[in-house]
């Protein structure tokens, strides 16, 4: 078997526009290979040109179709755009659900578009780390806009969407109460709200509810640098897609001309440092040499010590 291509060589190829090299580096970032480490470090330090957009919403809100339409719109301006789609999937088999992705295949033939699915695996800390490292690689590959799409349920999934420059939360009319309730954790993180499926008659109600909620929040807050807008879209008719693309650009330019950009940069930096630290910690605990963990698990099972005492012992005995 041929020796694997060194990551630094893949990086050189990627910078010359080689998509296969890009894809392989993303895979190495995902598996956490030590070999990709130097590349990811270099890429991070030289990245920062692209605008990263997080899109999240409850199941059934039409996120993926909207992302497809938004990508087409941005391509029409001649900008290059990449999508990282984080799919709910088995923590055990690790298989991604392709479902909606398939609708994007036409787009995938365009060399100015890059689409990548990532499965939510056992380690969610690892997922956030990998998705954001992939965004760095895409940035270094010259994509102007990078969309990270997550299903808006689960704390980690919502947090990943927030670790971007602009966060879009998608709502839709006509979903069940049970699904609507899931929105609670998401509404506050939006820089831009979208109500999708606005060709439907019941969309006005969803729009009105969202606007009155935002008006209430605004009346309690000081005049903000950015007023969160609500954009009504329809992937059927194309309504609002251009407005959404323009609103993302406006948000970007407000960030560049005010303190908002730096505040967001720091939020993202802190999130990435903490997520990566948790990830490191987990992998060092899990290392087969960790005899402390095995012994502690035995003692917890026998109820000789409680989990908190065990956790403290673990932190004190694990070498960093």
Q: Please report, as residue ranges, which positions from 260 to 319 form the binding site for a second copy (by CB under 8 A).
A: 262, 265-266, 269-270, 272-282, 285, 293, 296-298, 300-301, 303-312, 314-316
Residue 1, CB half-sphere, CA atoms under 13 Å: how many? 3
- 10 Cβ partners below 8 Å, 6+ apart? 21, 24, 25, 28, 39
Q: Which is nearer to a second copy, 74 or 133 (CB)?
A: 133
Please give the residues from 166 up to 185 whose contact with a second copy meets the rule CB under 8 A. 176-179, 181-182, 184-185
Select the residue interacting with a second copy from 158, 169, 232, 244 (CB under 8 A): 158
CA angle 189, 177, 181 (to 5 degrees): 25
In the block, which residue shows the tokens 């909207």?
A: 66
- Strands 113-119 and 145-151 turn out to be unpaired
Let me know: does 167 contact 56? Beta carbons within 8 Å. Answer: yes
**Would you state the structure tokens that stand for residue 252, as one six-digit string?**
């970007």
Return d(Cα 35, Cα 29) in angstroms, integer: 9
- Least distance CB 92 / a second copy (angstroms): 5
- Least distance CB 127 / a second copy (angstroms): 8
Select the residue interacting with a second copy from 99, 202, 216, 253 (CB under 8 A): 99
Return d(Cα 37, Cα 54) in angstroms, integer: 25
Please give the residues from 70 up to 89 whose contact with a second copy meets the rule CB under 8 A. 87-89
Size of the site for a second copy (CB under 8 A): 83
- Strands 192-195 and 81-87 turn out to be unpaired
Q: Does 95 bind a second copy (CB under 8 A)?
A: yes
Select the residue interacting with a second copy from 6, 59, 224, 238 (CB under 8 A): 59
- Report CA-CA distances (Å) from 196 to 18, 71, 180, 189, 268: 35, 16, 14, 18, 27
Please give the residues from 27 up to 46 whose contact with a second copy meets the rule CB under 8 A. 37, 40-41, 44-46
Q: Which is nearer to a second copy, 74 or 162 (CB)?
A: 162
Count each helix (H run) and each strand (E run) in the chain, helices first: 13, 7
Q: Does 48 bind a second copy (CB under 8 A)?
A: yes
Q: Which is nearer to a second copy, 4 or 48 (CB)?
A: 48
- Least distance CB 96 / a second copy (angstroms): 9
Q: Does 91 bind a second copy (CB under 8 A)?
A: yes
Q: Which is nearer to a second copy, 84 or 293 (CB)?
A: 293
Q: Does 122 bind a second copy (CB under 8 A)?
A: yes
Please give the residues from 181 up to 220 whose contact with a second copy meets the rule CB under 8 A. 181-182, 184-185, 187-189
Q: Is 81 helix (H, G, I), strand (E, B) or coil?
A: strand
Q: Is 68 helix (H, G, I), strand (E, B) or coil?
A: helix
């Amino acid at each position: 078997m041929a020796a694997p291509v060194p990551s630094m060589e893949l990086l050189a190829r990627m910078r010359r526009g080689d998509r296969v090299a890009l894809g392989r580096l993303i895979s190495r970032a995902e598996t956490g290979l030590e070999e990709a480490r130097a590349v990811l470090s270099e890429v991070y330090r030289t990245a920062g040109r692209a605008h990263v957009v997080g899109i999240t919403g409850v199941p059934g809100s039409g996120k993926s179709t909207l992302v497809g339409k938004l990508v087409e719109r941005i391509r029409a301006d001649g900008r290059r755009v990449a999508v990282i789609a984080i799919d709910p999937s088995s923590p055990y088999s690790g298989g991604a659900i392709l479902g909606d992705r398939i609708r994007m295949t036409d787009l995938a033939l365009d060399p100015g578009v890059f689409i990548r699915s990532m499965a939510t695996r056992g380690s969610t800390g690892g997922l956030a780390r990998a998705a954001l490292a992939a965004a760095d690689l895409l940035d270094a590959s010259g994509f102007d806009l990078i969309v990270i799409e997550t299903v808006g349920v689960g704390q980690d999934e919502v947090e990943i969407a927030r670790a971007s420059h602009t966060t879009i939360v998608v709502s839709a009319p006509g979903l069940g109460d049970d699904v609507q309730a899931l929105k609670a954790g998401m509404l506050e993180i939006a820089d831009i709200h979208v109500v999708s499926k606005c060709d439907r008659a019941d969309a006005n109600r969803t729009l009105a509810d969202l606007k009155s909620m935002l008006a209430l929040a605004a009346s309690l807050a000081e005049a903000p640098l950015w007023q969160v807008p609500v954009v009504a879209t329809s992937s059927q008719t194309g309504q609002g897609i251009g407005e959404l693309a323009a609103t993302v650009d406006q948000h970007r330019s407000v960030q560049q001309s005010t303190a908002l950009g730096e505040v967001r940069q720091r939020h993202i930096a802190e999130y990435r440092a903490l997520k990566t630290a948790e990830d490191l910690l987990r992998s060092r605990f899990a290392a087969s040499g960790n005899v402390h963990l095995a012994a502690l698990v035995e003692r917890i099972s026998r109820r000789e010590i409680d989990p908190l005492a065990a956790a403290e012992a673990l932190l004190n005995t694990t070498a960093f």
